[in-house]
Structure 1
Amino acid sequence: MNEVTAVARTAPDLTAPDLAAKAETGSDAGQTVPHNIEAEQQLLGAILTNNDIFDRVASILSEEHFYDPVHAKIYEVARTRIARNLQATPVTLKAFLEDHPGLRELGGPAYLAKLAGSAIASFAAADYAQIIYDLAIRRELMALGKDIEAKAANVDMASEPREQIVEAEQALYKLGEAGKANTGFQSFLKAVTGAVESANAAFQRDGGLAGLSTGLVDLDRKLGGLHPSDLLILAGRPSMGKTSLACNIAFNIARAYRRGLRPDGREGAVNGGVVGFFSLEMSAEQLALRLLSEASRIPSNKVRRGEMTEEEFRRFVSAAKELEACPLFIDDTAALPISQLAARARRLKRTHGLDALFVDYLQLVRPATAKDSRVNEVSEITQGLKAIAKELDIPVVALSQLSRQVENRDDKRPQLSDLRESGSIEQDADVVMFVYRAEYYKEREKPADHNLEAMATWQAEMEALYGKADVMIGKQRHGPIGDVPLAFEAEFTKFSDLVQPWQQGENRT
């Protein structure tokens, strides 16, 4: 007779002592793992007496949460029958369980009748279910700890310690988040309340935003800010400035960070936010140089060549001191798998908080496992990024390359069909934006010097396009599509609001 059966047999009358007191260590002081046999017995009895109770605990419990395998089997059979709109009672379950060896050890089908006889009051069912669930999580924590210890003790070249740490973090976070997503249906009143709170947040910002501000007024007006759980794709051909724009937005969010008490009573970011930036192409130093060039108004090429004057160098150092407290965290690990990217994002949220995540760029992220085609690999990556956005409840901005077919058209303005390698990028994204600088293409159409008429026309067109860029919103689930004109200062790699002639003297903040 196994230990579980022995414990169950010690309570044949199925009385209801103080279960909460036993919840930590189990009903027997000699037990080494936390469990509560009596709680399991009485909850099962309540379900067999009144099947409606199952609906109250189904979102909390599944069969693997029961310590006694016989109880787990009874719960599984009852769940299956109730799901089919059939009665689950000691009589109806008898045919499915009378040959079960574990049930025979407990007295056979008569044990089901004893369970029903011990039924608790229906209002206490959720409390008993929570006790059983909490004890199951404790057992899983113990098992996870033993697993981590066993893997660490096994010195194997195929299992690097860093990989083990990532696996352990993933397992712990998954365990910590278990059950949070199973909210099921919610009343319309609750949904309306959430919508009103979101609208109130926008109203309190003077009709501005429900999401994080990008720091660019016209872009914010079009997007309403960066919304939690959204995946935003920022795409463009090389040299269009998509990394620069992503850096500008990330920096603007981090620089505006203010911590305080939110309207829901929780402490967190009341303005701006903590930003994570995965730079799979550029090093952290290169990204920092771009941000410092923008903040100090010193061209980055002068900084790289060391051609700064003493005054410029003092300005550069002063900007560095001002920005060192910005909550902007950069990870420049190359060829990062999507699973590790998710694990590191979770770790950052747990340790420092995380309000927005940037990935530069999507095609450099590796799938968790090799796929039979690049299309399937990119699909896994975009689905993984969307899952991160929903799981951490933050906006995720992922940069993406465009296919070369843009260069083969007379009209170089990008389209959704230009997204490289997979239609899943368009499908999974909540917002798709393109960075387009007509100046870049016009500059390469410069005519020969001796063709004075063509040169004059070209110069006039270049003057009209100089320092201008467009963010083209090709898809937006929450609002309109269209173009947002921006100013672009190439020497500082900085995007800013473009002041139109009719807006001269207008307050843009």
Structure 2
Amino acid sequence: MEVAVLGAMMLAAGAAPVVMGILEPTDFYRPAHQKIYSAMYRLAERSAPIDIATVASELEKTGDLQKCGGPNALIDIAASVCTAASAPAHARIIKDNALLRQLIEHATDLAEVCRNHPGNIAEMIGQARNRLDTIACRAEPGRQRNEGVTQMMDTIQPEAIDWMWKPWIPLGSVSILEGDPKVGKSTITLQLAAIVSRGWGFPDGDGKPGAPYGPANVILMNSEDPLATVLRPRLDHAGADCTRIFALTGVQWRNGAVDSERMVTLQDVDTIEQAIIKFDAKLVIIDPIQAYFGAGVDMHRANETRPVLAGLGAIAERQRCAVLLVRHLRKMGGSATAHGLGGVDIFGYARSILLAWRDPDDPNRRILAHTATNFAREAKSLLYTLDDGFRWCGVDDRTAEDLANQPQQRGERKPAADRTAEWLHSLLSDGQIPANEVYAKAAREGYGIGSVKAAKTMLGVESCKVAAIWVWKLPNAQ
């Protein structure tokens, strides 16, 4: 069958366009036939004639002529054809056989994966569905297909990094500010917003105002502090131009004659980008990040957080703005790179990481350290105080790693039982969760099984069986 199709294409000029609308090189079973068909394909793309001589010449160029049996093999293929009229029908049979081989291979691989059971059923189903969809696309030439988008690096024009605050906050990228409660993370973000809105200078290497940036507009997404009683007074105290700062608080839509509104999440990339464009914002502050991931996104799973962060990063790059995420620290210590709440993938995606920390030597001072950056050397740490409002007060030689490795002095912390209960309540606030998943998340955050069980009792968390799986839910939850 394959020989009949290849021979018809070399003998009848009208056969090639029809067959090439049906078959791809990989549809042929024999490797030699794949090489011959690929040579014909290249000739067709150059609008060159397809016959024994041109195909032999094309195979010679790639060193495949002898691998395919030499010129005599091409002559034998052409001589075996009785009529070229059946080429389209034969091509469809070859296509069907190729699809059957792919389905058999897919089913075999899937059976092997299921036997080994890697553990993530949803991911297994997703991969199986994607592969089956690829086969379906090949079966229906008119169906939309996903193809890789490539670009030759020679066509890319090198660009220098643009900075809002060098080397702390680059433009066109995502940065993270992380720290414990009571170290002034939100206050720092409002101070930065004030600087941008007024066009003032950010602190430079000696802690004094450096090169100015702006004035420019700022978008503020803050889920923890009231606008009227906390954010506006703090912005006023920082000297911000509040006509340049816009709070993005929700998403509106119309259902018939009724207007509805909900909280904006990082999955609302179109809404966020529209706001950036509308106000020509150059700084977007999202405080805290865990409040904005949205339902269905586990911030400890890279496969769930990465698409969200990628969408945010794409916005920053397109709009040439800086995105600053605020992140709380996890309960457990460790290296500076492992302190932040959520998966390490969040750390890996950011281009610059800032760490706010209590000064171990002075309870009235805080330290803003530079944990990492992709584009420059880390900056010298800055000192600041929150007494009587925010104030920069010099530089410090201690690095983020120095601070993370010192004995923990992380401020006023609630008793362990209360912290565990707060964590569990927050975890279950979005709905019931399988008990084994609760324990797994607790382990990642440094909470022991005993403390989680105690918190369950303290909160009156209910256990019930759903489809043979024990789940936990808050009392009176639906």
Which band: TM-score by shorter chain? 0.3 to 0.5
TM (norm. structure 1) is: 0.42
Which protein has the bigger strand share? 2
TM (norm. structure 2) is: 0.45
